[in-house]
Structure 1
Amino acid sequence: MSVALATLLLACSGGDPDDSVLPGVQAVVFVKRAFITEGGGHNVTGGNGQTIDYLRYEPGGGLYVLSPPTPDGTLTNLTEEFEGVDINGMDLSFDATQVVFSMRTADSRHYHVYVANVDGSGVRQLTFGDWHDVKPIFVPGDRIAFVTNQPFTEMGTRADEYNHSRVVTQLATISVDAGDADRRLCAQNLSHSADPFLMSDGRVGFSRWEHLGPLNDVKLMAMNPDCTQMVGLAGTGGKPGNSLVQFQEIDPGQFIGVVTSRRGTIQAGALVHLDARAEGGVDGVLIDEQNARFDVLTPQVPTGEASPPSGVGRYRRPFPLNDGQFLVAWADGDVNERNELAETAPNFGIYLWDPETRRRTLVYDDPSFWDTYAIPVRPRDIPPVRRGFVGPTPDESEPAILGSVDVTVTGLNERVRGGQFDGTSLDEALDQTTRVRIIEGFSSEIGPVREFGLTMHEGAAIVGEAEVYDDGSWEAAVPGRLPYHLQALDRYGMAIRNQMLWIQAMPGEERRCGGCHEDRTGQVLPRMGPTTLAQQAGPQDFNAAIPDRTELPWYGAASGPNLQDIFDENCVSCHDGGADDPFAGRFYTVTTTTDDGEMLEYEIPYLLLTDEPLEVYYEMDTHTYPASYVTLLYPSAMMGDSVATGDTPPEWVTPGLARTSRLIEVLNINSETDDGDWAWEGGSHPEDVGVDLTREERLMLIQMADLGGQYWSRRNVEGADAWGAREYD
């Protein structure tokens, strides 16, 4: 035991620690977060409305040691020399001599990372700058991992269309000794990364908000401490609630955490046990995120998306003890939006929770604060230092390598419909893969665009379409650090499957998966030798600047073609609402109720492909788009309280999947190698009425649907042609 720790425990101990609530534990370190405002009211959810938010500042809290850990134990404030303190995350060093924490004070507008000895001495600020650094943890190799909203370039952090520009977080690391002088940023995601935790194999686990089209949830991920090999840990194959947050590892492959709604529960929820070990895995530590098993330990606590009142309270920040019990923060009552409406904050105190009896024993509760982040002050094992795959200062011009050993291999039990497929099993359909489309995600960091149209999909650019070789392999060199998702394409250029998960890679990193969500308990080997044909040929070079990536603006782009050009040149001669329009006079009525309770009614043409402006209500706001965009996208965009009556059309465009889009079926598409090989039987349109549509034009419309039916692109922003790869990436 260190001198500082021993001195603290001797000075503060008020009795025999074996008689305390936590036998054998002499002290706990924890956080007090203020919720009572200067005016005496309650700050219930300000800045923390969603379970992965972090911008809540209410001064008056601090970092404390409680010794012994009993309701009447002695408190030592480690941050008493600072004014206006709020603590946003904390961890204890492996030898239990130091605490790392995120703190904002009255003298700063931002949270930064500090370290201190457990007796309060040696407080040292490690990070600085005009951004927030929160939720720090110690990692092997004398480093600290944390969450930051530092923009990777002056243009700002990426932000999904559902989020807020400039505030999305990514992970970063610093060294304990050098702090910001050895600061390393990880690859980007479009939505928050949050709640890092250390795993026994030396990796960093974390929660990640996944927003991609209709997908909008929080999963668990893991990465190496050098930011490489970001992979799924749990949540891709189902989970007992929308969001998995605040996890800690109990044993290799087994975890304790919180499952809850994404918003409305004041960042609290039900306790859940996660077993992510693959059945039959070597030593039980092979991770199988697709088949992770969950056991909700507090089943009385609701986990539904509507964030219903609990009535039995909700939990935060479980921390495992050696005897199978857990330190938790718990508040009684509803712990949901009712608290906000009543302007009364829930009261989180620290408890010992026994999973066998489901009994809580009070450790400490100050009703004037939220007491949370409790950790026993005692040494713990140091996981191994994992070998780095990239250097401390990667060459930003060096591309990342993405690829698959055999894209036709899958462990998913899915069916594919549309075109040549009629309920075909996914593994059989993937045998027809000819290319893999690599799609870069971007969003509102490009400027005033907050949403990308009548779709939940983000901004999208095709970086390239990599050739799939005879052995099912492919490889591509792409710009590093960016978020991508992949689509396996058939010979018609349509996606067979749309991967609904963002993947990233650092500059110089090589990431090869086995197949298309292959079985994690097996191993995918090259079909035709020790290496794949793609590896032998080398990666296709898609390390292109922004102006050289394929984007599909609908209308009004400052540069390049618009999708409306295709309709103007080939379609509006018939589909203009005039006498020769086969759909003239056909309308449907959409009735919707706004958040303010106002009833709105819109009359929308069955199909009209002109650029005539039409007004519609979508995502809590009224928008105006060209008639072509509204009539093609609105049938799939209606949501919430919207009700359509009258002559309702088919789903002309299915955002994210061209092959089930009625528009693409009517137009049809021929094979890239055989002009007479068509995806659907029965001919093509508009050739049947004497108008020729080129294959390239058909492909643009297919790509529009496969990418998500976005209206806006970066080409709608003035000066987009001047953006270079490094200026923005």
Structure 2
Amino acid sequence: MKHSLFLSCCLAVCASGVFPVMAQTFSNGLPAKQIVLSQKAREALKGKQILYIEREQYAPDHHNTATLFQPGEINEASFAPGGAMRVYDVDSGKIRTLIETTEGVVRDPEISFDGQKVLFSMRQHPKDSYHLYEMNIDGSGLRQLTFAEGVSDIDPIYLPDGNIIFTSTRQPKYCMCNRHIMGNLFRMEADGANITQIGVSTLFEGHASLLSDGRVLYDRWEYVDRNFGDAQGLWVVNPDGTKHAIYYGNNTASPGGVIDGRQIPNSDLVVCTFTSCHERPWGAMAIIDRRKGVDNEAALVDIWPKESAKWVGNGNLDSFKGVGTFYEDPFPLDENNFLVSRTIWVKPGGWNITDAKSGIYYVNRDGTEELLLEGNQSLFDPMLVEARQKPVSIPMMRNFTAEEGQFYVENVYEGTHMAGVKPGSVKYLRVVESPEKRTWTVRGWFGEGEQAPGMNWHSFENKQILGEVPVEEDGSASFMVPAGKHVYFQLLDKDKKMIQSMRSGVSLMPGEVNGCIGCHEDRLATVPMGGQRPIALNRKPNKLQPWMGEEPHKFSFMEEVQPILDKHCMKCHDFDRNNRKKLVLARDKNPFFNAAYINLYVSKAVHLVGGGPAAIQQAYSWGSHASKLTEIIDGDHGSIRLSQKEKEILYTWMDLNGVYYPVYESSFSDHWAGRCPLTDEEVKQLSELTGLDFGRLNSWTRTQPAQISFDRPEESPCLDVIRNDKEKYKKAVSILKEGRKRLKETPRGDIEKDLIPCEKHQGQLRKYAVRLEENLKSNCSIAEGDKYYDPK
């Protein structure tokens, strides 16, 4: 009843002119410029109707995922209103407008299996958020399905069982190498009820489509000890959120992104877009055959433009910015014929909305590329208006009352990149969570990508150890993990040193059981039949044993590592005005981290993967086994004798990729690195007084050791050049003392429990808590067989 009332209100508002205009009449010439089609195109499209979107191209931004321009976020001002959803009748050449808006944007259409309805996302005006809508294909029966304020709902698709999957920012999280809002996969019922999250990776999940076996194909961007720009590939998941798995391109340096995948009808091939990290969501149109590989160029069947094949596997994260002719939203008709949005022209070197224009093209694998439609604005999302066969419907396997799921590994020694790992050497498996980033700062630290705020020397994430479990003598392990966590695994030897580490995340839905053959096993190999059942699967799964006997908490260099350095190292490794070449391992805070942390990196005492390459790394190649620091603490270093617990803490720090801050929140959002207590004017004065360019120190590429001590300002090495100039020295020390005072009053996050987040971060955390509560309400409703809707 309430939905009927809402529909009546929608139609009334529409008639008043506030709502986007809907029209069911045909118009010739106004919506689009029609092209005289060739005989080949007419034969391929005879009797067809093509639905498409007309709008401005998304404004250029930092990443290919940055198309939302969500109100209240960093790029809100880039939203470009105006657009429509139209249908083109190929035979008659007529075009009808289903819905049009001058103040908002219509995007991401998906036609129902019977061809009678269309699902889409729309934002009515710049201050509105993207919500999901559905209407009949003749333009009647418009109804709004989602209503959440301050979030973006996009990329919806129909499921065979009538439910809907879409991407949303309902779990507000931000890009770890910058400041942009990210999205995850969600599922809801056909009327908008019981919206529940089915993807929990820490960055972006989007452009969902269905495979013929009922699984959802989507593109995913994530970090776990990875480079910021080459970790975007195609993944699959069951419609209930279980069994997330790599499909193609997760460990490929080029293309930087593999997005917009759609299975070609009656084949095992997928058409998709090979794109760049720092680009709009366009690039080359490619066909891949996963049976030939999940990362390599051998899987590439065809590509447009043809010359862009040279970059597959041989370029970098942004190579596909150079394709010249850009493709997006590919829609397969069959194995040889495609519809696609393609640039008609691109202004050389252009970086504005109007510097390119796209139309709808017909493409054939024989080399034909023919413009079908050109609009006043660019055209996107072409698809046929017709009934199609439903894929297999995969039943719901998720348990909405459970809090855990089960992982198992059959044999950790089975797989690639395990050279030198002898059977029996793996004794433990560690489970580490990579938490999402819920806030961002105005200023950042340049740790390869820009961390906002600064988190680590080179890698992007904080880490939380959930626990460890034993690995059996046959290499098997079985264990319970909290559901809804983005986690990864590390293999440890008898001393708790890391042998091998995952650099991609996995997760479990409540009650899910998921497993793998081994570590980095060949994903195209078949599971061997026969043989003995793995030891770990002959009993109940292990409970995670807390690291160091403590409850899970986010790892902090200052809280975990620094006390060991204070106890054993400070006698010989403190600041020394007479010997500035000495390795200083003091706890003194500087504008970005602390002295010991910076100096361990500058001195190359640790060999870590950082924001490492896309390729899987060999066992023993980084971390505690590969670091000079381990040789020192394991060897004869004077009278120093560390306990086994202290050694294990240092090993763990290196194996967690040398993290520093436990939290993304900070007290000084507008200051250097989002961590520095000094204002820009104070930093400028300090630079003028000491002659040191502090801006060059705000990066992992620095070669200078720590120059500032806020804890003991007089010991700061940057003061050496002015110690004999009493006036300059006094001014400089005064600035540093002011920094010390501010850090005491408002700790910046070196230790989580001491943090006092800035007001903006407190607001972002409150929004996160509200959205989490809404998701919990939906989950409880599903468990109770009830219905819960977005508050209107």
Does residue 315 (structure 1) correspond to residue 335 (structure 2)? The answer is no
Q: Which residue of 1 aligns with 2:114?
A: 95
**Does the 8 A contact of 1:187 with 1:480 survive in 2?**
no
Pair 1:168–1:44, CA change in 2 (3 A):
closer
Map 1:217-228 → 2, pairs under 5 A:
217-228=231-242
Q: Does the CA-based 8 Å contact 1:310-1:333 persist in structure 2?
A: no
The answer to whether 1:381 aligns with 2:389 is yes
Confirm or deny: 8 A CA contact 1:163 1:191 kept in the other structure: no
TM-score (norm 2): 0.70
| Distance (whole Å) between structure 2 residues aligned to residue 480 and residue 98 of structure 1 | 35
Equivalent of residue 146 in structure 1, options 166, 170, 176: 166
Whether 1:207 aligns to 2:250 is: no
Q: Kindly indicate whether residue 596 of structure 2 is the aligned counterpart of residue 609 of structure 1.
A: no
User: 2:372 is paired with a residue of what secondary structure?
Assistant: strand
The one of 350, 353, 356 equivalent to 2:366 is: 356
Give 1:136's aligned amino acid.
P
**Aligned residue number for residue 28 of structure 1:** 50
Q: Which residue of 2 aligns with 1:171?
A: 185
In 1, the alpha carbon distance for the partners of 2:50 and 2:161 equals 25
Asked if 1:432 is matched to 2:425, the reply is yes
- Cα offsets for 1:82-112 (capped at 9, x unmatched): 5523123111111111111011102862101
Shift in Å, 1:256? 0.8
2:103: which partner in 1?
Answer: 84
Rate the CA distance shift 1:242–1:203 in 2: closer, same or farther, 3 A: same
Q: C-alpha offsets along residues 264-283 of structure 1, whole Å, 9 cap, x if unaligned?
A: 3x22101111111268xxxx
Q: How far apart, CA to CA, are the structure 2 residues paired with 1:119 and 1:453?
A: 54
Per-residue deviation, 1:308? 7.2
> Does 1:487 find its partner at 2:490?
yes
Structure-2 residue corresponding to 1:569? 567
**Partner residue of 1:710?**
659
- The share of aligned pairs that are identical, in percent, is 22
Q: C-alpha displacement at 1:252, in angstroms?
A: 4.4
SS in 2 for 1:182: coil
Question: Is contact 1:199–1:252 with CA below 8 Å preserved after alignment?
Answer: no
Residues 431 and 318 of structure 1: CA distance in aligned 2, closer, same or farther (over 3 Å): farther
Write the mapping of 1:683-722 to structure 2, written as runs, cut at 5 A.
Answer: 684-686=635-637, 689-714=638-663, 716-718=751-753
Mapping for residues 551-566 of structure 1, pairs under 5 Å:
551-555=554-558, 561-566=559-564
Kindly provide the amino acid, as one letter, of the partner of residue 482 in structure 1: K
In structure 1, what residue type is equivalent to 2:97?
Answer: N
**How far did 1:438 drift?**
0.6
Distance of 1:118 and 1:514 partners within structure 2: 46
Q: How much does 1:627 deviate? A: 1.3
1:680 maps to: none
Select which of 318, 321, 327 maps to 2:339.
327
Contact 2:130 2:152 in 1 (8 A): yes
Which whole-Å deviations, capped at 9, do the CAs of 1:5-46 have from their partners, x for residues lacking one?
xxx9997899999976443242100111235xxxxxxx732x
Within the alignment, does 1:345 sit opposite 2:355 as a pair?
yes
For 2:363 and 2:608, the matched residues in 1 are separated by 51
Alpha carbons of structure 1 residues 261 and 291: separation in structure 2 relative to 1, 3 Å:
closer
SS at match of 2:489: strand
**CA apart distance, 1:496:** 1.1
Alignment-derived partner of residue 599 in structure 2: 631
Matched with 1:591 is none
| Mapped contact 2:81–2:104 kept (Cα < 8 A) | yes
- The answer to whether the 8 A contact 1:247-1:257 is kept is yes
Aligned partners of 2:156 and 2:164 also within 8 Å:
yes
Residue 160 of structure 1: how far off its partner (Å): 4.8
Residues 224/363 of structure 1: CA separation in 2 closer, same or farther (3 Å cut): same
Distance in 1, matches of 2:639 and 2:529, equals 48
Distance 1:323 1:231, change over 3 A: closer
Equivalent of 1:408 in 387, 409, 413: 413
Per-residue displacement from partner, 1:245-303 (whole Å, max 9, x unpaired)?
11111144311111121113x22101111111268xxxxxxxx5689712434233485
Give, in whole Å, the separation in 2 of the partners of 1:306 and 1:634.
Answer: 29
Equivalent residue, structure 2, for 1:662: 628
Kindly state the Cα deviation for residue 124 of structure 1 after the two structures are TM-superposed. 1.1
- In the aligned structure 2, how far is the partner of 1:610 from the partner of 1:123? 65
**2:292, 2:299 within 8 Å by CA — same for their partners in 1?**
no
Structure 2: how far apart are the matches of 1:309 and 1:518? 32
Q: Determine the C-alpha separation between the residues in 2 that align with 1:16 and 1:333.
A: 19
Structure 1 or 2: more helix by fraction: 2
- Which string of whole-angstrom CA distances, capped at 9 and with x for unpartnered residues, describes residues 313-366 of structure 1? 111111111361110111145578x221x6643101000011222x21111011
Q: Give the direction of change, closer, same or farther, for the CA distance of 1:547–1:172 in structure 2 (3 Å limit).
A: farther
8 Å CA contact 2:465–2:555 kept in 1: the answer is no
Q: Does 1:365 align with 2:374?
A: yes
Judging changes above 3 Å, is the alpha-carbon distance between structure 1 residues 712 and 353 closer, same or farther for their aligned structure 2 residues? same
Q: Are the equivalent residues in 2 in contact too, given 1:309–1:335 (CA < 8 A)?
A: no
Correspondence 1:103-118 to 2 at 5 A: 103-106=122-125, 109-118=128-137
Q: What is the correspondence of 1:154-303 to structure 2 with a 5 Å cutoff?
A: 157-164=172-179, 167-176=181-190, 178-179=191-192, 181-216=193-228, 217-238=231-252, 240-250=254-264, 251-264=266-279, 266-277=280-291, 293-295=299-301, 296-301=303-308
CA, structure 1 residues 494+25, in 2 after alignment: closer, same or farther (shift >3 Å)? farther
User: What residue in structure 2 maps to residue 639 of structure 1?
Assistant: none
User: What displacement does 1:403 show?
Assistant: 1.7
Provide TM-score, normalisation by structure 1: 0.76
Q: Which amino acid is 1:377 matched to?
A: V
SS of the aligned residue for 1:667 comes to helix
Judge which range, 443-452 or 399-408, deviates more: 443-452
Render the CA deviation track for 1:488-514: whole Å, top value 9, x for unaligned: 111121111111111111111111111
CA distance in 1, matches of 2:498, 2:320: 38
Structure 1 residue 520 displacement after superposition: 3.0
* Structure 2 unaligned regions, length at least 5: 1-22, 29-33, 70-78, 442-451, 611-621, 664-748, 757-764, 777-792
Which whole-Å CA distance do the structure 2 matches of 1:634 and 1:384 have between them? 55
Distance 1:98 1:375, change over 3 A: same
Alpha-carbon contact 1:487-1:498 (below 8 Å) kept = yes
SS at match of 2:306: coil
Contact 1:454 1:634 in 2 (8 A): no
Unaligned runs of 5+ in 1: 1-7, 36-42, 152-156, 280-287, 416-423, 556-560, 587-605, 615-622, 636-648, 669-683
Displacement after TM superposition at 1:720 (Å): 8.3
Aligned to 1:537: 539
Question: Is contact 2:284-2:323 (8 Å) kept?
Answer: no
Question: Aligned with 1:200: secondary structure?
Answer: coil
Indicate which of 504, 507, 510 corresponds to 2:510: 507
C-alpha displacement at 1:468, in angstroms?
0.6
Q: Secondary structure at the match of 2:148?
A: coil
1:439–1:335 distance in 2 versus 1, CA, 3 Å: farther
What CA deviation, in whole Å up to 9, does each residue of 1:597-640 have, x standing for no partner? xxxxxxxxx621012344xxxxxxxx4322100011246xxxxx
Task: Give, as a single letter, the amino acid of the residue that structure 2 aligns with 1:354.
Answer: N
Question: What CA distance in whole angstroms lies between the structure 2 residues aligned with 1:199 and 1:273?
Answer: 15
Q: Match for 1:246: what amino acid?
A: D
Instruction: Give the number of aligned pairs.
Output: 606
Could you tell me whether the CA contact under 8 Å between 2:179 and 2:440 is conserved in 1? Answer: no
Q: Secondary structure at the match of 1:347?
A: strand
